[in-house]
Amino acid sequence: MAHEIASACKCKLCGETIIGQAGLILDAGLAGLDPANQRTAQFTLRLADHVIRKHPHENKALETKALEFLGMLRLANYATSDRGILEQRDFLRWTVHQATLNGRLSDEKLTTAAVDFAGKVVDLCVASLILQVPAPEHVERVSVSLKAQAAETLAEILNGLREIIEEPGRYQVTAPAALAVPQDGQTRS
């Protein structure tokens, strides 16, 4: 027995809400799928139809990206030493990565995390030193400087990791609105 599911999605381009149908949707082209997957596939087709009909420019950009992704998948099946093909494959991989990256860390969030973490580490070290040093007031003065240095070092490390994960400057391109990359701190919904 199929589950009764009604889905709803709001188009980010025009604000229109598309509501899926509850109950089992039978489509001969989807016959090999279980009922839940048939409903999902049918609803996805309705969403695609909306973009095709109401947003042809954005749809064209999506089709281009789909072909690029398909090209990357096809190129991945071949070994080559041709630098041009290798660069094209990497560029296609990068564009998919940028378009699907779930969230990005802003400099502000990164710095705040570094300051918080460094402060906790230095506090632990200072607490340990206070127990061992006969003049704890000197240790506490040094802890302020240590926290700033530790935060700066940790922020550099986190920044480096962010650069490795997000690859923001690898290629310079402008994404169409339909494929816009989330801004700092945002996630895809």
Query: Which residue in this structure is represented by tokens 């710095």?
Result: 111
pLDDT for the residue numbered 10: 93
Average pLDDT value over all residues in the chain: 78
Percent of the chain with pLDDT over 70: 75
Query: Which residue in this structure is represented by tokens 């041709």?
Result: 82
Both tokens of residue 4? 């009764």
pLDDT for the residue numbered 115: 85
Residue pLDDT, tens place only, 35-56:
777 777 888 888 999 999 999 9
Identify the sign of the CA torsion 33, 38, 44, 50. Answer: positive
Domain locations in the chain as residue ranges: 1-54
Alpha-carbon torsion angle 132, 136, 139, 140, nearest 10: 130
Q: How far is CA 91 from CA 72, 81, 175, 189, in A?
A: 9, 16, 14, 25
pLDDT for the residue numbered 3: 46
Question: Mean of the pLDDT values across residues 51-80?
Answer: 90
Q: How many residues does the chain have?
A: 189
Q: Which residue has the higher pLDDT, 40 or 90?
A: 90
Residue pLDDT, tens place only, 147-182:
888 888 888 888 888 888 888 878 776 654 444 444
pLDDT for the residue numbered 142: 72
- For residue 171, give the DSSP letter: S
In terms of Cβ atoms closer than 10 Å to its own Cβ (0-12, 13-18, 19+), residue 122 is buried
pLDDT for the residue numbered 51: 96
Q: How far is CA 65 from CA 16, 52, 177, in A?
A: 23, 15, 12
Q: Which residue has the higher pLDDT, 11 or 135?
A: 11
Question: Mean of the pLDDT values across residues 131-160?
Answer: 76
Residue 17: what are its φ and ψ, rounded to 5°? -100, 130
- Inter-residue contact 18 to 50 (CB < 8 Å): yes
Long-range contacts of 153-156 (CB under 8 A, 24+ apart): 153/118, 154/114, 154/117, 154/118, 155/110, 155/111, 155/114, 155/115
In terms of Cβ atoms closer than 10 Å to its own Cβ (0-12, 13-18, 19+), residue 111 is middle
**With bands split at pLDDT 50, 70 and 90, how would you rate the model's confidence at 187?**
very low
- Inter-residue contact 154 to 117 (CB < 8 Å): yes
pLDDT for the residue numbered 15: 94
